[in-house]
Amino acid sequence: MENKNTNLEEAEALAEMPEVEAVMGDGAAVAPAKKRKKPINQQKLQDNLWGWLFCTPLIVGTTLFVYIAFVIAILLSFSNYQEATPLWNFLGNIEWGSAAIVRVESGEFITDTSLIWYRYIFESTTQSNDFWYTLFNTVFYLIGIPIGMILSVFFAVCMSRDIKGANIFRVIYYIPCVASTVAITYTFQRLFATGGSGVINRLLFGDDSTRYINWLNGAQNTRPWSSGAIIYKWVIIIMSVWKGLGGTIILYVAGLSGVNASHKEAASIDGANAWITFWKIEIPQLWPTIFYNMVTAVIGGMQIYTEPDLLFSTNGGVNFEVTPYVGKIFYLGPMGNNPSPNCAYACALGIILALIIFVLTLFQFLIDSKMDK
């Protein structure tokens, strides 16, 4: 019986090998056996088709609005396109690298080659330096990232303990993440309103109107590092940290639940207290979650725009005290409050922002590679 099964398996294996030739008794060779075609798995084919169907909107959207848009932005950043003609007509008639005479928003006429906007950003002496002002505002807003990470880790550790009502607190802290940004901004406007109507002022100083803090006194368009501008920025940081706290807490709670319990037990047996266990056992195993939150927070923080614009009602304009870098790009575009849009200048600023984010992300990955060692 065993010999019969072995012979059957060998025959099937030989039948599937087209290179093997069967030899007849007289020594004549015959044609090799054809390889059998595998039957099509209809269920697998159907699953693949449905998978590609659901992925198509994402693929098309990413291709059109990310990759193609990025290439067009790079091309426009070396041109003199100011939204005077339709984009498709401009791209068809442009002479790349040719000299151009362009009037910038400061009223200055400049003539240069394809590097006109990059030279203008870093070398022009007649502009109002809003490039550096808005970049300073954006970098200042990044202060909220370490504050939010420390608070979220603290609350995640508290919620990961075996206490009653932990799930209720998780839901409560996550509510701001799903709430409307407009509603949150209006709430903070009422909290930090100037004078007696602001709840924060009332709590700090009561009815003493002479000691009120002008939390939201409106943009004065002064230097972004003045004392009043710093106060305005801290209001934005407080709101951003509070709004994004719930999402990072959930991620840290999930990360803490994946910490190896045997390692904590071994540390406890060796006499390690709770702080040493947290710092030496939990934090190293939580590092992938910390790294993910850090990278995404920096990328999102460098692109902040909605909160300052809504909170201080800049209406698409540039205010040196609060407007972030992306606000300057929006102002130069066709949807901004600029009477003479300058799309090529805006594209150049966008490319510089992309390079800054790339460098920051690369630096974080270098830190991650050293942590892995």
Q: Are the C-beta atoms of 237 and 144 separated by less than 8 Å? A: yes
For the record, the structure tokens of 299 come out as: 């990328």
Helix (H, G, I), strand (E, B) or coil at 141: helix
What pLDDT, in 10s, does the model give residues 272-302? 888 888 888 888 889 999 999 999 999 999 9
pLDDT at residue 171, rounded to an integer: 84
Q: Is 56 exposed, middle or buried (0-12, 13-18, 19+ CB in 10 A)?
A: exposed
For the record, the structure tokens of 258 come out as: 């994946």
For the record, the structure tokens of 276 come out as: 């040493």
Q: Which residues of the chain fall below pLDDT 70?
A: 1-40, 84-114, 124-129, 195-196, 208-210, 217-222, 315-316, 372-373
Residue 355: what residue type?
A: L
Among the listed residues 241, 213, 201, 216, the one whose alpha carbon sits nearest the alpha carbon of residue 314: 216
Give the Å distances, CA to CA, from 303 to 32, 69, 249, 300, 337: 65, 17, 22, 5, 19
What gap in Å lies between CA 248 and CA 238, rounded to an integer? 15
- Residue 206 φ then ψ, to 5°: 65, -130
Among the listed residues 311, 313, 345, the one whose alpha carbon sits nearest the alpha carbon of residue 329: 345
Q: Which runs of consecutive H residues, i.e. helices, occur in the chain?
A: 2-15, 42-62, 69-77, 87-93, 116-123, 130-141, 144-160, 166-178, 181-191, 199-205, 227-257, 261-269, 274-277, 283-302, 306-312, 325-332, 343-372
pLDDT at residue 353, rounded to an integer: 95
Angle at CA 149, nearest 5°, toward 253 and 172? Answer: 55
DSSP character for 214?
-
What pLDDT, in 10s, does the model give residues 187-197? 888 888 876 67
What gap in Å lies between CA 304 and CA 139, rounded to an integer? 10
Domains and CATH numbers, the chain: 46-127 (no CATH), 133-341 (1.10.3720.10)
Among the listed residues 216, 174, 217, the one whose alpha carbon sits nearest the alpha carbon of residue 191: 216
Helix (H, G, I), strand (E, B) or coil at 102: strand
What gap in Å lies between CA 367 and CA 361, rounded to an integer? 10
pLDDT at residue 195, rounded to an integer: 65
Give the Å distances, CA to CA, from 76 to 18, 61, 142, 334: 58, 21, 29, 14
pLDDT at residue 92, rounded to an integer: 55
Averaged pLDDT of the chain: 79
For the record, the structure tokens of 342 come out as: 């300058």
What gap in Å lies between CA 224 and CA 37, rounded to an integer? 71
For the record, the structure tokens of 254 come out as: 């999930």
Helix (H) or strand (E) holding 112: strand 109-112
Which neighbouring-strand residues pair with 149?
Answer: none
Give the Å distances, CA to CA, from 217 to 112, 195, 198, 235: 42, 9, 11, 12
